[in-house]
Amino acid sequence: MSKITVFRTIYSIAALALSVNVAKAQSSSDWSRNSAGAYGGVFQWDGSGTGTSWIAGARGTRTLVGQWLLGEGSFNLGRMREQLRSSDTQFQIADAQLQFQAPFSRIRPYLGVGGGEMWASGASRWHSQSPSAATGIRAFVARESVIQVELRMRGWKDYHAGAASWTVGLSRQF
């Protein structure tokens, strides 16, 4: 084997390894695109009494800085059967958060803080600011699909009421 053949073989192996690493880096950056999706889960609340009900909504996520800082906006719907009311109270929550995400490969834990507005109608009618904090995991399961599992805590009525939302969602990246 001549020196030129050895050099070409080493060069070919290095070029192949470099192209695999570049492709891997490109596919890793694809996991940090903007996304939109729907979610649902359980809403455990303490308002005029305590209880558990459902919550559902839509979320949009935008990358702000690299893969580690995201902005998320959401709109939520739900219903509470408050113990001190004669019928159900429906609620809507418009929420925004800054989320700090660990830039791991396909599984990314995150912490978020934010707030929004909460409106209630039905048996109880009111409007209140609603601060929130969240922790969760985003699992990038396919090139354009993200499964998100989250616990979000929130307060309302001047922080005299609160809730925990346990949700699972599916988003599509774009």
Same domain, 84 and 115: yes
Pair 106, 139: CB distance under 8 Å? yes
Residues 114 and 39 in one domain: yes
39 and 24 in a common domain: no
Both 78 and 10 in one domain: the answer is no
Question: In which band, very low, low, confident or very high, does the pLDDT at 125 lie, cut at 50, 70 and 90?
Answer: confident
- CA distances 54 to 74, 81, 112, 166, Å, are 16, 11, 22, 9
Residues 1 and 55 in one domain: no
Residue numbers of the domain that contains 18: 1-32
pLDDT given for residue 101 in this prediction:
95
- The reply to whether 59 and 144 lie within a common domain is yes
10 and 25: one domain?
yes
23 pLDDT more than 80 = no
Read off the pLDDT of each residue in 75-93 and give the average, rounded to a whole number: 84
Chain-centre distance for alpha carbon 157: 25
pLDDT band of residue 4 (cuts 50, 70, 90) is: low
Least-confidence region, from 53-62, 82-91, 129-138: 82-91
Q: Are residues 21 and 45 in the same domain?
A: no
Residues 128 and 65 in one domain: yes
- pTM for the predicted model, two decimal places: 0.77
**Percent of the chain whose pLDDT exceeds 90:** 53
Q: What is the Cα–Cα distance from 142 to 27, expressed in whole angstroms?
A: 11
Mean pLDDT (whole number) for 72-79: 95
Is the pLDDT at 138 greater than 90? The verdict is yes
* Together in a domain, 83 and 126: yes
Integer-rounded Cα Rg, in Å, for the chain is 23
Total count of domains within the chain: 2
